[in-house]
């Protein structure tokens, strides 16, 4: 008697994605792509995979001697806002005609990594993960052909590779993250791995910080152009400045003058206050021995630290387009594990389920199928609550793991406890 194949989370996710792809293709060729993307909660832009064109077109222009960071006859309708390393694609003969296959390649690669991170769980977990992947925030990245999928593949791959007891696997994980830094900068926030206070994690975080700072120094002349050329929007973004952008927009719609708090100290002061509250919460829980949401030393835990670090770090950048919320997918395996037990306390299960609900809400409510005209306060509140929750858990784990190592009687651990 042969055993029937086990149906689990990976099977559900793959089946759901294939079904969604079939629906997308059928609708796209029957009623048109613009209407199809709007049915998925995404406002389409042209040309197809426009964000990939934001890399391939400037690369082709750079080979011809133009500076893509400035408006040029070669590329009159846009300016370049990525690190200069992408311009090397032009020397490989890459141009706008390659945008479609490059987009499909990185999207499929990222989804494969996400499935590998989520495999081995229940059908219900697969359904929840599928719901997250098909959210408007992630699908917006698909429609744009956004480079973040490549970074997600690299960071998720690093989580799969990392193993504290094996230096070669630490090296390859660090190499993948460093490549991500060279391509898009913000994987530097994977220094959140330091929340595991043992030697390899600290070494990983320190080396990553050094590599990131050195790279920023190398491309420093280009950073003002990258920042200047990166647009912001009030309704399809997340970050500590976004509610203030939205407030001015609402006032303008009402015929009132802008308060113009966005570029003052007020937004950052509010973000700093939330961080202080997260730190105080973590300190109080540590002081009274309330252990909860301990991040384990496994693949799910590593992915969680990377994902939560990138979310918190990019939140503090001010404003990021919502497709970058796709890095919350890295948090899903650990949140699903916390929410279903077994856990050290019932509190962990409750908090895990609460954070999972916030993640799903952020992925779905930040997407606005009605275009760029309506600012919604609900997703902004969810984004701030998620920032507080993820920051609190990061700081709680740092305190609980650092305390024993910092005692004089216990030297810094070379390897994590089994």
Q: Distance between CA atoms of 400 and 404, rounded to whole angstroms? A: 8
Task: Annotate 150-188 with DSSP letters as a single string.
Answer: HHHHHHHHHHHH--TT-HHHHHHHHHHHHHHHHHHSGGG
Q: Residue 342's pLDDT is what?
A: 56
Q: Residue 123's pLDDT is what?
A: 93
Q: Residue 13's pLDDT is what?
A: 96
Fill in the DSSP letter of residue 235. S
Q: Residue 1's pLDDT is what?
A: 39
Fill in the DSSP letter of residue 374. -
Mean pLDDT for each 10-residue chunk of the chain (418 residues)? 66 95 94 91 90 94 91 86 94 93 96 96 94 95 96 97 90 96 96 90 94 96 90 84 85 78 90 96 86 88 97 94 96 92 68 93 78 64 96 93 64 50
* N-term to C-term CA, the chain: 38
Q: Residue 373's pLDDT is what?
A: 44
Q: Residue 285's pLDDT is what?
A: 86
Q: Give me the residue label for tokens 């052909």.
A: 145
Structure tokens at 374: 């309506």
Q: Residue 407's pLDDT is what?
A: 62
Q: Is the peptide bond before 137 cis (omega within 30 degrees of 0)?
A: no
Structure tokens at 17: 């994605």
Interhelix angle 332-340/299-315, nearest 10 degrees? 120
Q: Distance between CA atoms of 281 and 389, rounded to whole angstroms? A: 10
- 342: number of CA atoms within 13 Å, CB side? 1
Q: Residue 165's pLDDT is what?
A: 83
Domain boundaries, the chain: 9-406
Q: Residue 3's pLDDT is what?
A: 53
Burial 362-371 (b: 16+ CB within 10 A, else e): bbbbbbbeee
Q: Give me the residue label for tokens 């082709």.
A: 60
Q: Residue 2's pLDDT is what?
A: 45
């Amino acid at each position: 008697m042969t055993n029937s194949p086990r149906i689990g989370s990976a099977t559900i996710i793959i089946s759901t994605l294939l079904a969604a792809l079939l629906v997308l293709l059928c609708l796209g060729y029957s009623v048109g792509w613009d209407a199809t993307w709007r049915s998925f909660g995404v406002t389409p832009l042209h040309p197809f995979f426009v964000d990939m064109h934001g890399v391939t077109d400037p690369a082709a222009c750079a080979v011809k001697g133009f500076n893509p960071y400035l408006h040029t006859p070669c590329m009159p309708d846009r300016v370049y806002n990525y690190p200069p390393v992408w311009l090397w694609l032009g020397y490989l003969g890459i141009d706008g005609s390659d945008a479609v296959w490059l987009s499909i390649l990185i999207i499929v690669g990222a989804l494969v990594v996400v499935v590998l991170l989520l495999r081995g769980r229940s059908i219900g977990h697969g359904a929840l993960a599928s719901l997250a992947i098909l959210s408007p925030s992630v699908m917006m990245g698909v429609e744009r052909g956004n480079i973040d999928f490549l970074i997600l593949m690299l960071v998720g791959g690093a989580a799969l590779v990392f193993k504290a007891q094996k230096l070669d696997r630490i090296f390859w994980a660090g190499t993948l993250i460093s490549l991500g830094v060279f391509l898009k900068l913000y994987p530097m926030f994977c220094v959140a791995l330091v929340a595991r206070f043992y030697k390899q994690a600290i070494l990983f975080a320190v080396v990553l910080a050094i590599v990131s700072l050195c790279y920023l120094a190398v491309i420093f002349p280009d950073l003002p152009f990258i920042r200047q050329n990166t647009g912001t929007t009030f309704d399809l973004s997340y970050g500590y400045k976004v509610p203030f952008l939205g407030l001015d927009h609402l006032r303008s719609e009402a015929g009132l003058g802008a308060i113009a708090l966005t570029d003052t100290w007020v937004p950052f002061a509010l973000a700093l206050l939330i961080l202080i509250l997260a730190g105080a919460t973590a300190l109080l829980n540590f002081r009274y021995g309330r252990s909860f949401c301990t991040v384990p030393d496994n693949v799910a835990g590593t992915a969680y630290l990377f994902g939560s670090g990138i979310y918190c770090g990019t939140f503090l950048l001010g404003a990021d387009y919502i497709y970058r919320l796709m890095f919350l997918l890295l948090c899903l395996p650990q949140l699903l594990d916390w929410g279903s037990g077994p856990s050290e306390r019932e509190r962990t299960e409750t908090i895990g389920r609460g954070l999972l609900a916030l993640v799903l809400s952020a992925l779905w409510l930040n997407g606005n199928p009605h275009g760029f005209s309506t600012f919604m306060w609900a997703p902004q509140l969810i984004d701030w609550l998620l920032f507080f929750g993820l920051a609190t858990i990061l700081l709680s784990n740092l305190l609980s793991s650092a305390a024993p190592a910092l005692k004089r009687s216990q030297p810094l651990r070379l390897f994590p406890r089994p």
